[in-house]
Each structure stands twice: as structure tokens, then as C-alpha cells.
A and B are shown apart, each in its own frame.
Chain A
Amino acid sequence: MMSLVYKDFMNLKVQAKLYLLIIAVWTVVAGIERNSSFLGGVLSIFSILIAITSCAYDERAGWDKYALTMPIGKRELVLSKYVVSFLILGAGMLVFIGLNVYLQTEPTEFLGQIGIFVALGILVADIVLPIIFRFGTEKGRTFLMLIFLVPAVLGLVMGEMEIPVNVTLSEMELCAFMLGVAILLLPLSVWMSFRMYGRRDMRTNGSKNINN
């Protein structure tokens, strides 16, 4: 499986320059603003975006169909995308820690945030990757937008209707709750991805035509 992860990182290296530039800009902005929260959110979402990009590259090349003719199983193909996503998430969090160290923020102040951003990254991967494995990257991106849209709309509606939310959580409690949910959902997500991938149509490189 590590050879698949290696393949993804090597294939993404051209795009990596652009990603690094975007992260650098956000890091500088966060440094000037002396507020790293938004950067943390950006970095956690980046992890899944990059994993989706690697899936899109694979789809375009018809890689999965070819890879399955090699001594590689479907499970490895699926798991490698989770690994790619989590490795990028980990690297992103190192940037986040680095910035906070530079800003001389007390560790107690940003540790909870790290947990929340890690949980966010894992949660989004938990939801998006099974969808990608079932429907492909185009629809997967649409679902990703919906994932962000639904809580926003829900919050807006609840605000408009003046529905009281009587839940107050400290940062550490929120971190523990989110991490718990993300980690509990992970095996379910992986299982769903295996099932979804198993149903995938390997007839073509992407179009639904039978190319004889």
C-alpha cells in the first residue's frame, strides 16, 4: 500500500507547488493577524481536497482499472486514499503548530484547536471518501460543497427561527466530542468505502460506453 501512497505524492508534486503557495499565503495572513484558527480550518479541509485531487488524477488515467490487474487489492486502493488524506492532515497540523510556536501562543491555548481541526479533517474524509469511491470525484466534490452548506443553512435557519441551543461546550470538550465522533465513524467509513468501491463500474476509464 505504501507504494500507492508514494505514487499519489509523486503524482501530486506538480500541484504541490500551488498548494504550498496557498498555504504560505494563509500562514503569512494568520501570522500578521496573530490568529491561526482560520488557517487550521483551511489546512484540515486541504487534506481531503488533495485526496480528492489524487482520486481525480487516477480516474483520468484509468489507473484503478489497471492497478487491479497488478498484485494490488481493492482494499489497498481504498485505504491508500485515507492514508494520503491523513498524512496531509498531519503535515498541515505541523504547520499549524509551527505557526503557533512562532506566535508564542501557550500550548494550552491551541492544543484543543488542533484536536478540533484533526477531527474536522477526519470527519470530512469519513463522509466524502465513500461517496468518491461510489460516484467518482465530480459528484464527490458536489457532496463536499453540500457538507459545508448544510450546517451553514441549518445554523441560519435555527437563528432565524430563534431556536435556542442550550449546549455550551468548552474547547476541550468540543475537541473530545468531535474526535470521538470522527474516530468512531472511521471504521464505518472505511467499510462503506470497501463496499462502494466493490460496486464500482470498471468497464471504462470514466465514460459509461463500452469501448470495444
Chain B
Amino acid sequence: MKNALEIKNLTKSYSDFRLDHVNMELPTGCIMGLIGENGAGKSTTIRLILDLVKADSGEIRVLGEHLTTESRALKEQIGVVMDECNFPECLKLREIGKMMQGCYRTWNAARFEELKRQFSLPEGKCVKDFSRGMKMKLSIAVALSHDSKLLILDEATSGLDPIVRDEILDIFLDFIQDESHSIFISSHILSDLEKICDYITFLHEGRVVFSEEKTELLEKYVIVRCSEQELSCLEPSAVIGMRRSSFGAEALVLRNRVPERYVKDPATIEDIMLYHVKHGGKRL
């Protein structure tokens, strides 16, 4: 299977928001990061992928198939981590394990035990007494304890301290060692995505601004620091966005359209996103 996830012309309208002809492809064996500001449509996209809400139009293929809430065999192969831990609050780990055993045909109790130990999850506590980090680790442990080929993660690392986040990113990198595994992750923490992702999709106001390989993106754009006059000498179409400072101007520009004499610094994913949206970015 070439792509773990394919989205074509996905559209969904609400009274106050529209997800507009979203397209993206996540090749099998890769990690795609979905970025965008609050309200950009990231969670809506994930809910549409999971068939929790119905699309107005467009096509979604998950692991090569059309996913519905009734696609049991397909859902065995998808591990989902939402932005909150969704286990009822009075359950304990043993009970969650036993319940999951009944829910998933491919449930691997030994793997769950191993992950519980690895994550130091407290056996005797109810879910409500877990810290946020523990809750997210629990959700991830469950997602990894069955035959998951695709992990779908919605803000799974938000609100966690850097040490826990780093631990979780390592787990994702470990998961992706198997070439048949893929990850689709939305996050506000762009530095995390920059560390692990192969592809970045940027959603802004319900539209895809770009969906590209991370290395190509980082190669494509640079930050130029110069005077406003020097900046005005550049082709306008090469400048994605700019901001003025007391020392002159700073702009995100297309690398291959900037003469050699300009001072160029590498752009981060955060720079690319901010300049596209905040600093006079052009809508693509």
C-alpha cells in the first residue's frame, strides 16, 4: 500500500467554519504533522478521517479503505489518541486492559503490560487521579497494544512537560521503525513535529496552505534579515511574509529567488507557519 492516508477534496461546512477542499497524502512508513492555529480545522479533519462527523464532500482512504464507524477490521489497525484521555474516570489499568481485551480481537495483553511498566503507570489508581502526562501515556499505551498500523494523534503532546514529550516522541520514532507503520499527528508544538515528521501539512482557516516533505520545506524557505530598502529589491512573489524591526526587516523568502549577497538563515517550521499567516502572508 502506497499511502496510509489519502484525503481528496475534503469539505465540511458548519455555520461558523468551513473546511475547504482539503487534500493530503501520507505515504506508508512516514509521519505527517498537521499544523495550524486554533480553529484552523485540525481536529475537524481528524474527526472526519475517523468518521465521527460526516463530510459534505470529498474522499478519505485510510490504509487503502474507506473508514466508517462500523469498519471493525480496519479499526483494529488504527490507534487513536485524542487531546484528552477518554477513559471513564473511575476505571483502573487492570480494568481498562480487561475491557480492551474484549474490544480488540488483536489486543496484546503482554504488550500492554510491558508499556504500563515502561511508562510507570500506577496500577492501583483510577484514571481521574492520573496526571495529564500519565493519561496521555495511557492512551498511547492502549493505541500501541493492538495491531495498529496507523496512529492518529490529536494534540497528544500538548500540555505535557518537555521530558514527557521527549519520551513520547521516542516512542513514536520507535513505532515507525516498522515500515508498515505510519503516524498522523496534529500539534501546536511545532518543535516536536520538526523533530519527528517527514511531512508537514499546514491548515489555515480550513484550507491547506501547504502539504509537503519537511526537508523540502526547510530547503525551500529561508529567513532574510536586511534593510527594508534591500528587501524591496527582491521579487515580490519571492517574499512570503515580512516584519519590520528597529534593525531593519526580516522576511521569509523562497531560497532559490534570493541573490547570494543576502544574509540567509535557515527557517524553522514555526517561522514558515508564522510568516505565512501573521506577517503579511499571502493566501496560497
Tell me the A residues contacting B by CB distance below 8 Å.
Answer: 2-4, 6-7, 10-15, 57-58, 60-63, 65-74, 201-203, 205, 210-212
Q: Which chain A residues lie closer than 8 Å to B104 at the CB level?
A: 70-71
Q: Determine, out of B40-48, B109-117, B168-176, B237-245, the stretch whose residues face the partner at the interface.
A: B40-48
Q: Which chain B residues lie closer than 8 Å to A70 at the CB level?
A: 75, 80, 103-104
**B38 within 8 Å of A by Cβ?**
yes
**B29 within 8 Å of A by Cβ?**
no
**B259 within 8 Å of A by Cβ?**
no
Residues 59-113 (chain B) with a chain A CB within 8 angstroms = 69-70, 72-73, 75-76, 78, 80, 82-92, 95, 98-105
Tell me the B residues contacting A by CB distance below 8 Å.
Answer: 14, 16-17, 36, 38-44, 47, 50-53, 69-70, 72-73, 75-76, 78, 80, 82-92, 95, 98-105, 126, 152
**3 A-B pairs with least C-beta separation:** A3-B102, A66-B86, A202-B52
Contact A71 B80 (CB under 8 A): no
Contact A2 B102 (CB under 8 A): yes
Q: Smallest Cβ distance from B177 to chain A, in angstroms? A: 24
> Can you add 17 more A-B contacts, CB < 8 Å, to A63-B86, A67-B86, A71-B73?
A10-B99, A11-B88, A61-B84, A65-B82, A65-B86, A66-B82, A68-B50, A68-B51, A70-B103, A71-B103, A73-B70, A74-B70, A201-B53, A205-B86, A210-B44, A211-B83, A212-B43
Q: Which residue of B lies closest to A77 (CB)?
A: B69
Q: Which chain B residues lie closer than 8 Å to A10 at the CB level?
A: 90-92, 95, 99
Q: Which residue of A lies closest to B89 (CB)?
A: A61
Residue of A7, A12, A15, A210 near B14 (CB, 8 A) is A210
By CB atoms of chain A within 10 A, which of B38, B47, B75, B90 has the most? Answer: B90
Residue of A3, A61, A65, A202 near B88 (CB, 8 A) is A61
Contact A12 B78 (CB under 8 A): no
Contact B88 A7 (CB under 8 A): yes
Given A66-B82, A66-B86, A69-B75, the answer on whether A74 and B69 have CB atoms closer than 8 Å is yes
Q: Smallest Cβ distance from A18 to chain B, in angstroms? A: 13
By CB atoms of chain A within 10 A, which of B39, B52, B100 has the most? Answer: B52
Residue of B53, B89, B90, B99 near A3 (CB, 8 A) is B99
Q: Which chain B residues lie closer than 8 Å to A14 at the CB level?
A: 90, 126
Given A11-B91, A66-B80, A71-B75, the answer on whether A61 and B53 have CB atoms closer than 8 Å is no
Q: Which chain B residues lie closer than 8 Å to A3 at the CB level?
A: 98-103
A6 and B59 CA atoms in complex are apart in Å by 36
Q: Smallest Cβ distance from B263 to chain A, in angstroms? A: 36
Contact A6 B102 (CB under 8 A): yes
A205 and B101 CA atoms in complex are apart in Å by 25
Q: Which chain B residues lie closer than 8 Å to A60 at the CB level?
A: 88-89
Q: Smallest Cβ distance from B125 to chain A, in angstroms? A: 13
Q: Which chain A residues lie closer than 8 Å to B39 at the CB level?
A: 210, 212
Q: Which chain B residues lie closer than 8 Å to A203 at the CB level?
A: 44, 47, 52-53
A62 and B42 CA atoms in complex are apart in Å by 18
A205 and B16 CA atoms in complex are apart in Å by 19
A45 and B16 CA atoms in complex are apart in Å by 42
Residue of B14, B16, B69, B95 near A68 (CB, 8 A) is B69
Contact B84 A62 (CB under 8 A): yes
A3 and B95 CA atoms in complex are apart in Å by 10
Q: Which residue of B lies closest to A64 (CB)?
A: B86
Given A6-B98, A73-B72, A212-B43, the answer on whether A68 and B90 have CB atoms closer than 8 Å is no
